[in-house]
A and B are shown apart, each in its own frame.
Chain A
């Protein structure tokens, strides 16, 4: 069931590749705007890089979350999925996993390239990559709760940002903290462990909360 959901969502996303690419371009453009607004001093850019990349990743995930359930909701597939005998937890977990692969993994892969614009060293780029790899599942997981709650509401796009961005704060702090620790020559391990712990807690609670929210939105 889990595999089927993931496979189906990946197929759907593959047939509409432009959606996927637009999220990546959004991420790259937002990150590139900061040097233009702040100035090209490498010292300054290096110190703001962790925060800028992470905040851009949060905003980019906001863009793609609207589509997590919306298409299935409009054509009625979601109601059918709710009627299946399999636990809804698995359905939601599968959709979240697919969303992570479609929307977040490209960001994780391109982030080191973007980091080069900010003159980060090789080890720091590596830490940036790992922190995003561990941290972006949190964005998909908690974001799914927001996407389920705002399903079919007017102004859903803005609303989901208000609901979800405050809940992302721990991920932002630990993720950007790991990169920053690496820049100033400290070990990023504590931040990464905490980020991983937060990811596990989200994995336990978020699909459950998102399924509850889906049932509420669809009754």
Chain B
């Protein structure tokens, strides 16, 4: 079997359509399971009460936001280096999902911060770098939106994403040093008391659900992008499949 043929958007289009349910349905089941374990089985935290339960969406969303940026840069880089259209389309469709997860993690972080720390926002190193990550996503998305020629948009986005990936560690450490210089004691999110097994289970289930959801949504958006750019070829391939 020749796997490389799936690098053609028109050939991948029907395959993506068949793959979506295999990710979407498990994602729904795992979301339900994760929420059940998170709300009903995981014990109440003795310090934070029930407010900590927002962690089950907050932590996976924050992780997804970071992973997806790196994944997006890798796809954009492959698309640029090997002139692979499908890879670049993947990068564009990942960007919006990644930005949404980053935004979710910021909003849920604020909701979590209000009852536990007494404030919606602190200039904590992690929160600040998540905010900057959201800015980087915004730059990528708005650059691609401003360019009419899709191939130029792909390549320009790749340059920006790769520059961003080199910069992310520098930004992260500079923000961390800045933070320790400005404030004496930083607030530690969960001072690492041994986390109860049901809590950990709920979080891992939610993380798996977020991954599957991301893949499903990215594939749906990818199909839309393929249709937009290569309408005729995609329709033809589906009819012949």
Contacts and interface: CB of A to CB of B under 8 A. Distances in A.
A177 B156 contact: no
Given A149-B143, A159-B142, A217-B152, A173 B159 contact: no
B224 interface: no
B84 to A, nearest CB: 16
The size bracket of the interface on A is: 20 to 34
A154 interface: yes
Interface SS of chain B: helix, strand, loop or mixed?
A: helix
Contacts of A163: 139, 142-143, 160
B147 A162 contact: no
Interface in B136-185: 136, 138-139, 142-143, 146-147, 152, 155-156, 159-160, 162-164, 166-167, 170-171, 174-175, 177-178, 181
A154 B146 contact: yes
Interface string A184-219: 000000000010001001000110010011001101
B117 interface: no
Interface residues of B, number: 26
Contacts, number: 71
A91 to B, nearest CB: 17
B132 interface: yes
Nearest to A218: B152
A209 B157 CA distance: 12
Nearest to B159: A213
A145 B178 contact: no
A166 B139 contact: yes
Given A153-B147, A212-B159, 12 more contacts: A145-B163, A150-B143, A150-B146, A162-B135, A165-B135, A173-B174, A173-B175, A177-B181, A209-B159, A209-B162, A216-B156, A217-B152
Interface of B: 132, 135-136, 138-139, 142-143, 146-147, 152, 155-156, 159-160, 162-164, 166-167, 170-171, 174-175, 177-178, 181
Interface of A: 142, 145, 149-150, 153-156, 159, 162-163, 165-167, 169-170, 173-174, 177, 194, 198, 201, 205-206, 209, 212-213, 216-217, 219
